[in-house]
Amino acid sequence: MKGVMTPTRWRQVDQLLEAALELPADEREAFLAQSCGVDQALRQEVLSLLAGNEQAEDFFEAPPMNEVGEVFRSAEPAFAPGSKIGPYRILRELGRGGMGLVLLAVRDDDEYQKRVAIKLVSPGPLQPEMMRRFRRERQILADLEHPNIARLLDGGTTEQGWPYVVMEYVEGLPLTQYCRQHKLALTGRLPLFLDVCAAVQYAHQNLIIHRDLKPANILVTQTGVAKLLDFGIAKLLEPANQERQQMTARETLSGVLMMTPEYASPEQMRGETLTTASDVYSLGVLLYELLTGHLPYQLKSRALPEIIRAVCEAEPQPPSVRVVGADLRVCPPPLSAQPPGQTHRSAPTLTPILTPHPVLPGELKGDLDNITLMALQKEAARRYHTVQQLSEDICRHLAGELVFARQATLGYRVQRFVKRNRAIVVTTLLVLLTLLGGIVATMRQARLAEARGQANRRLAYAGQMHQAVQAWDMANLGQLRDLVEGNRPAAGEEDLRGFEWYYLWRLYHHNGQRLLLPHPIEVWAVAYSPDGQRVATGADDSKLRLWDAITGRALAMLSGHTECIWAVAFSPDGQRIATGSADRTAKLWDVATGRELVTFNGHTNQVMCVAFSPDGKKLATGSRDGTWKLWDVGTGRELLGIQATAQWVHAVTFSPDGRLLATGHGAQPCLKLWDAVTGQELRVFNEFPRTVFSVAFSPDGKSLAAGYRDRLAQLFEVSSGKLLATFKGHAGEIKSVAFSPDGKLLATGSADRTVKLWRAATGEDLATLKGHLGQIWSVAFAQDGKSLITGGDDHTARLWDIPAALEFTALKGLGSVSAFMALSPNGRTLATQGSAISIRLRDAATGQELMTFARHADFWTSLAFSPDGKGLVIGNHDSTAELWDAATGQKLMAFKGHTAQVNAVTFSPDGHRLATASSDKTVKVWKAATGQELLTFKGHTNLVRDVAFSPDGKRLASAGYDHVARLWDAATGRELAVFSGHTSPLLALAFAPDGKTLATGSADNTAKLWEVATGRELGTFKGHAGHVRCLAFAPDGKRLATGSAEGMVRLWDVATQQEIIALKGHDDAVGSVAFSPDGQTLVSSGADGIVRFWRAATTQEVAAAGRK
Amino acid sequence: MANMASSQSVTQLLSAWRAGDKAAFDQLLPLVHDELHRMAQRLMSREHQGHTWQTTELVNEAYLRLVGQPEVEWQNRAHFFAVASQVMRHLLVDHARARQLGKHGGGAERLSLDEVALVAPDRNAALLALDDALDRLANFDAQKSRIVELRYFGGLTVEEVAEVLGIAAITVKREWARAKLWLQREMQLGM
């Protein structure tokens, strides 16, 4: 029957088949027997068709996958097993793509025979974009070292000219498959997810967004460690304002296609500028899949438009609901393709396995639902602002604490419901109105909706302030500006701004930048003329530009080089400029006329660096050909050519006396000292295989600084080679180093978009200059040391005011005996510890020391200024308190009466009385002038940790280890109220400026807000991960600052108890926080011995800038 | 690159075909073929080896490049996919044939690990068998053959197939089911 099928015969067969398929399986035989009658062939034909099996079904349901790519693969030279790439012997091919392949290899000279994955890219001439991407991935990976990220081990170029990277070979299963295979319960899944969060967060800290988070890119090893791979489309965070790329639909789509759309965020789908929030979303999808075994969307097909619609519009079901619905279903096949080579994968199973999902709805309902949905918010601003917040919330859930996601998503959903269903809401209200006949109810409803809208705005504001802090941390000034400017209140809107806004505004506006010199292209090199009047820049367009250093006016643009300029230097007399170029030459220019004077020809590869000898007669150059050469400036004759390294020479410089020359290169040893006359190698500086990008002699010639690609710089003694200091703090490679002319400062320009100023002698980090929107490639000081020029790949050179950049913002090295400080009422004087027993007064504006109280007493515990600032009261360990004259340093009075350590001291607002809190469980009030004990307040059942007068001086509040705060009548000692609600000892308290509310900080890691009149708890400030040890209200009463044992200072919206920003500035517990009386400075002191001044702009400053 | 002229003409051709102009299909075919070829090369050239391109994604992007307006007329999109399905079938089958030849001819063993994993070794053979069976099916039931081509090679949904062929979705579903039964027997799958 096969083979000779006619349309007519087939119609017969087909009709019977159709009818039979409609019937239950067990009735089909009988039906056919009856219908076919004697035509046994017909019956046989239909029966054989009905016998079709499931495996074939599989064939049709799996669309042709790999073939699509395979069709277009071009023939590539194979890297055969057994052959070698560098020191690696190839074992086999792991996978390939159109432009490259991945090999499994082993390092032959490695005794451990560790296996590695080598990723190669074909160097086709058509693929510059591709090569750029590859280089970038290599660079990105080189910067990442994390237990949950597959490590980059090596890189290079094969003999055939294929660039390659060597990666840690991860043998494992994709995350979701691993969970399925091991039938992991929730408790096994969440820790793996937290691993992934840690890796992503680490990448974010390094300014890298992964952009392609999906199970296939996360392998779990046999030992159960999750490893993140494939940074192929990761990117460095880009400033949001860089010509906010207007992407075409096409580019958007190709962008989307490059990642796996199911895991892409809505903004990614729309082709918008991405932030770390996009990775948060992808993590949300991943979490959803881990919890439910399904994607958050129910997709009918994998058609892109449908996925886009689902991602951008469909509200995901809560995971707990999804699990219920899915429980009875067949487990879906793995959703996504896997990276080649990184996994051994079995052929797809042909029959689906019926596995009940091991996570139960009950485990998900509530917290995990909320957490997942919060990460999956369509609007980036409504998600967790950082991966850390997401992982912290999961930790909170695991610890049984309240999660942050609860409030945020609930309020939002209510708001959205009202927004979407306004008509319904209105109708409902009208019905209510007629039914109840009461207008009051409607009014209340309307007010409620209004209040919700208001709450929503506050939530959004807090989110954006949080992001602004993040933007600043990542030196993303464009985004910072947008977030700050975007939150000026519109006409008629309530002004939600507080301290944080003015603080962030000032960060943006007072960053020390004086001038910006715009270029059409990347700036690779900058130099200051010796007289400080001009600066020169070398750019990627091969042009040398001259600028007026005072006004920023462009003076000249000189052409001559045929490739980009890598290096620029002024001659010591300022009349000549030397340039080094990728066109393999160096050139000499006349500054006055702009004429090209000499071309130095001889290098066989790009000239990366140039330096004049101090007498201006010789020029040194370094090249990618591995040599440095010395030239006669006058004649252009080559005097010396020395092979310094097998790799590139990145940097060359003369010692100030001209007798020595230092070079920095790309391979070990990477820093060498030479005799500048004979070319003899004198010293090798560094034993580490680091790449040196830049070198600089100190002005006295005694030390030599080198900037490395691995994010640090070092200072060596020239005579001995001894390491003097290490400069650590940049988040990206250091491209350029420069000494200030007085030798006190070292400036480093980094790929992390910042310049840092360091105390050269000690390595102390003095200031960070932020403003560049891209990597900084070159830095140079002016001769007066007051100005610095930087050039970067953000197409700008910038001039910075060094004194402004060095603005006093922190006191360091105070020791860690006590974390306490006190700010005088006028905000001008700061009292900090001198030693364990002495107190030191300092000028709060400059940090300058004013006076040290020479005390001979026991350890002190607490400090407070009198309201007129003339007196300072000190609480002591020996159960006494003392009053000192802040002007003369004389001790005026001692207050004796407590029987245990005094923990806190404070003045009454009128300055006449003094209150002390003691470990003897009492509070005492004293007459300040005479030292007479007036009252003792008894009631606490444990030690009293803090005490405060109400602003009117009539009441007194105390915070105790007995978990409560107590309110007292300051005149009679009568107890008025007990504020009970904390679950751990109270550590601090403060009255709001209006005296109506009171805030308390506790060892339960929260602060609480209380109504003074009623003793009612108004709300809880949740977010600290350590004891809340101190707190202070801003003078406007809108903000509360809290300091905690985890080293964070957090700022809260008092009205909503919502956290607004977190300030990271201490490595140890924060012991005191205080606002200056004008509300412009927040001071925090920590057990790390640091006092920080967080300065905000004044409204006048902001207004003045607005008028400009 | 798809320029304005070609993107307009593709839209016009699609509309013409939908309106019943059979010649429009023949004009579309080479356009779509070239674009798919270019697209696939471009996609494969990306440094993104972890991703395997599915037919649907590829065709989707080709459509967007040639027509440029997502979602304006989904009927046009469906018709475009219909053209593409035929192109994809040719490309895939040609390739499978080449690989089969290469294998038996003692050519370099080019199967990498992930290929072996992703594509069952006999998948090439299956693809060739399907192609052959589809041709035979077309001889006595052209509609089923076309449905399979659209569904399997073009990645069209049932609804899209219904739109392209001008029949009811339920019919597509049933025809698809029966076509599969016949094909799998003919291809002797799973035996």
Q: What is the pLDDT of residues A336-394, one digit of tens each?
A: 333 333 433 333 333 333 445 677 777 787 788 888 988 998 888 788 888 888 888 88
CA distance B19 to chain A (A): 24
Q: Report d(CA B17, CA B84) in Å as an integer.
A: 14
Q: Which residue has the higher pLDDT, A442 or A977?
A: A977
Tell whether ipTM is more than 0.90: no
Mean pLDDT of A898-911: 93
B114 contacts on A by Cβ (under 8 Å)? 66, 94-95, 338, 340-341, 345
Q: What is the pLDDT of residues A245-278, one digit of tens each?
A: 333 333 333 333 345 667 888 887 776 667 788 8
pLDDT at position B114 is 30
Contacts of A1103 (CB under 8 A, 6+ apart): none
Cα-to-chain-centroid distance, residue A710? 18
Instruction: Tell me which residue in B44, B152, B157 faces A98 most closely, judged by beta carbons.
Output: B44
Whether B45 and A302 lie within 8 Å, measured CB to CB: no
**Backbone torsions φ then ψ of A956, nearest 5 degrees:** -135, 140
Say which range, A4-8, A729-733, A935-939, B167-171, has the weakest mean pLDDT: A4-8
pLDDT at A139 over 50: yes
Chain segment A620-656, per-residue pLDDT in tens: 999 988 899 999 999 999 999 999 887 889 999 999 9
Q: Cβ contact (<8 Å) for A99 and B180? A: no
- 8 Å CB contact of A230 and B57: no
Chain A residues touching B186 at Cβ < 8 A = 2
CA A302-A308-A311 angle, to 5 degrees, is 100
Q: Is the Cβ–Cβ distance between A262 and A303 less than 8 Å? A: no
Residue from the list A5, A56, A95 with its beta carbon closest to the beta carbon of B112: A95
Whole-number mean pLDDT of chain A? 81
C-beta atoms of B114 and A340 within 8 A:
yes
CB contact under 8 A, B61 and A340: no
Opening angle at CA B152, ends B146 and B153, nearest 5: 85
Which percentage of chain B shows pLDDT scores above 90?
A: 5
Query: HEC string of A179-206?
Result: HHHCCCCHHHHHHHHHHHHHHHHHHHHC
Per residue in A598-618, pLDDT (tens digit) is 999 999 989 999 999 999 999
- B62 Cα to chain A: minimum distance (Å): 10
Among the listed residues A961, A971, A1060, A952, the one whose alpha carbon sits nearest the alpha carbon of residue A1012: A952
Q: What is the model's pLDDT at position B189?
A: 53
Residues of B in contact with A97 (CB under 8 A): 44, 46-49
The helix or strand, by DSSP H or E, that contains position A477, with its residue range, turns out to be helix A477-485
Q: How far is A308 from chain B (nearest CA, A)?
A: 11
Q: Which chain B residues are closer than 8 Å to A232 by Cβ?
A: 47-50
Nearest Cβ partner of A249 from B45, B68, B112? B68
Q: Does the structure show a pLDDT above 80 at A956? A: yes
Helix, strand, coil shares of chain B as percentages rounded to 5? 75, 0, 25
Chain B positions touching A253 (Cβ under 8 A) are 60-61, 64, 70
Closest CA to A542 of A561, A517, A567: A561
Predicted local distance difference test score (pLDDT) of residue A462: 84
CB–CB contact A98 B41 (8 Å): yes
A6, A55, A346 member nearest B190 (Cβ): A55
Greater confidence (A479 vs A1003) lies with A1003
Beta carbons of A653 and A696 less than 8 angstroms apart: yes
Whether the CB-CB separation of A1041 and A1073 falls below 8 Å is answered with: yes
Asked if A99 lies within 8 A of B44 by C-beta distance, the reply is yes
> Percentage of residues in chain A with pLDDT exceeding 90?
39
Q: Return the pLDDT at A441.
A: 39
Nearest to A966, CA basis, from A951, A992, A946, A996? A946
Which pLDDT does position A402 carry in this prediction? Answer: 67
Q: Which chain A residues touch B140 with a CB distance below 8 Å?
A: 5-7, 9-10
Q: Is A250–B64 a contact, with Cβ atoms under 8 angstroms apart?
A: yes
Determine, for residues B112 and A232 on separate chains, whether the beta-carbon distance falls below 8 Å.
no
- Compute and round to an integer the Cα radius of gyration of chain B: 17
Query: Chain B closest CA to A269's CA: distance in Å?
Result: 13
Q: What is the DSSP pairing of strand A902-907 with strand A913-918?
A: antiparallel
Q: What are the pLDDT digits (tens) for A777-828? A: 999 999 999 999 999 988 899 999 998 888 888 888 776 555 788 999 999 9
DSSP strand pairing (A1039-1044 vs A1028-1033): antiparallel
Lowest mean pLDDT segment, chosen from A232-246, A570-584, A1051-1065: A232-246
pLDDT of B78 strictly over 50: yes
Q: Which of A59, A63, A340 comes nearest B49 by C-beta?
A: A340
Closest-CA distance, A994 to chain B, in angstroms, reads 59
Nearest-CA distance from A1009 to chain B in Å? 53
pLDDT of residue B99: 61
Cβ-Cβ contacts under 8 Å, B143 against chain A? none
How near does any CA of chain A get to the CA of B177, in Å? 9
Q: In this model, does residue B186 exceed pLDDT 60?
A: yes
Reported confidence tier of residue B9, pLDDT bands at 50, 70, 90: low
The identity of residue A811, as a single letter, is: L
> Could you say which DSSP state residue A349 is in?
P
Quick check: B107 pLDDT over 60?
Answer: no
Q: Whose structure tokens read 């992007």?
A: B61
Query: Which of B47, B119, B177 lies at the smallest CB-CB distance from A121?
Result: B47
> Sign of the CA dihedral A1059, A1065, A1069, A1071?
negative
Q: Where are the alpha helices (DSSP H) in A494-562?
A: 499-509
Residue A240, C-beta contacts closer than 8 angstroms, at least 6 positions apart: A273, A275, A476, A478, A479, A482
Contact A52 B94 (CB under 8 A): no
pLDDT 10s digits, A305-337: 667 777 877 888 888 888 765 443 333 333 333
Q: Percent of chain A scored above 70 by pLDDT?
A: 81
Q: Which of A63, A124, A345 is the closest to B152 by Cβ? A: A63
| Inter-chain CB pairs, A–B, below 8 Å | 231
Is the CB of B189 less than 8 angstroms away from the CB of A55?
yes
Lowest mean pLDDT among A6-15, A571-580, A855-864: A855-864
Neighbouring-strand partners of residue A431: none
Query: Which of A9, A66, A217 lies closest to B50 in CB terms?
Result: A217
Cβ of A302 and B114 within 8 Å?
A: no
pTM for the full model? 0.53
pLDDT at A747 over 70: yes
Mutate to test the interface with B, among A257, A269, A302, A312 (most CBs of B within 10 A): A257
Q: Do A304 and B88 touch (CB under 8 A)?
A: no
Cα gap A901→A891, rounded to integer Å: 19
Region B95-124 average pLDDT: 44
Rounded to the nearest 5°, which phi and psi values hold at A725?
Answer: -155, 150
Q: Is the pLDDT of residue A69 over 70?
A: no
| Order of all β-strands in the sheet with A1070-1075 | A810-811, A1091-1095, A1081-1086, A1070-1075
**CA A105 – CA A117 distance, rounded (Å):** 6
Question: For B113, which of A2, A7, A93 is closest by C-beta distance?
Answer: A93
Position with higher pLDDT, A1047 vs B37: A1047
Q: How far B35 CA lies from chain A's nearest CA (Å)?
A: 13
Read off the pLDDT band of A149 (50, 70, 90). Answer: confident
The answer on pLDDT for A680 being more than 80 is yes
pLDDT of residue A509: 85
| Tens digit of each residue's pLDDT (9 = 90 or more) over A701-715 | 999 999 998 888 999
Residue among B59, B64, B86, B114 with most chain A CBs within 10 A, to mutate: B114
Does the pLDDT at position A1057 exceed 70? yes
Write a three-state SS string for A966-989: EEEECCCCCEEEEEECCCCCEEEE
Cross-strand bridge partners of residue A536:
A527, A546
Contacts of A150 in chain B (CB under 8 A): none
Task: Calculate how close chain A gets to B155, using CA atoms only, in Å.
Answer: 7
Per-chain mean pLDDT for chain B: 69
What does the H/E/C string look like for A396-439? HHHCCCCCCHHHHHHHHHHHHHHHHCHHHHHHHHHHHHHHHCCH
Interval A690-697 mean pLDDT: 91
Partners of residue A263 in chain B, C-beta under 8 Å: none
**Chain B hits for A346, Cβ within 8 Å:** 117
Q: Is A856's pLDDT higher than 70?
A: no
What's residue B42's pLDDT?
56
Query: CB distance B189–A338 less than 8 Å?
Result: no
Determine the pLDDT at residue A957.
97
Among B45, B55, B94, B175, which would you mutate to test the A interface (most chain A Cβ atoms within 10 Å of its Cβ)?
Answer: B45
β-sheet with A891-896: strand ranges across: A860-865, A871-876, A880-885, A891-896
Averaged pLDDT, B87-92: 76
The count of C-alpha atoms lying within 13 angstroms of the C-alpha of A359, restricted to the half-sphere facing its C-beta, is: 29
Angle of the A319-326 helix axis to the A276-292 helix axis, nearest 10: 40
Contact: A344, B113; criterion CB under 8 Å: yes
Top pLDDT among B46 and A221 is at A221
Chain-chain contact of B117 with A346 (C-beta, under 8 angstroms): yes
Give chain A positions within 8 Å (CB) of B119: 65-67, 70
For A95-109, what is the mean pLDDT? Answer: 69
Per-residue confidence (pLDDT) for residue A96, from 0 to 100: 57
Mutation site for A-interface testing, chosen from B34, B112, B119, B173 by largest number of A Cβ within 10 Å: B112
Minimum Cα–Cα distance from A60: chain B residue: B152
Task: For A552-591, write each residue's pLDDT tens digit.
Answer: 889 999 999 998 899 999 999 999 999 999 999 999 999 9
Tell whether the model's pLDDT for residue B113 goes beyond 80: no
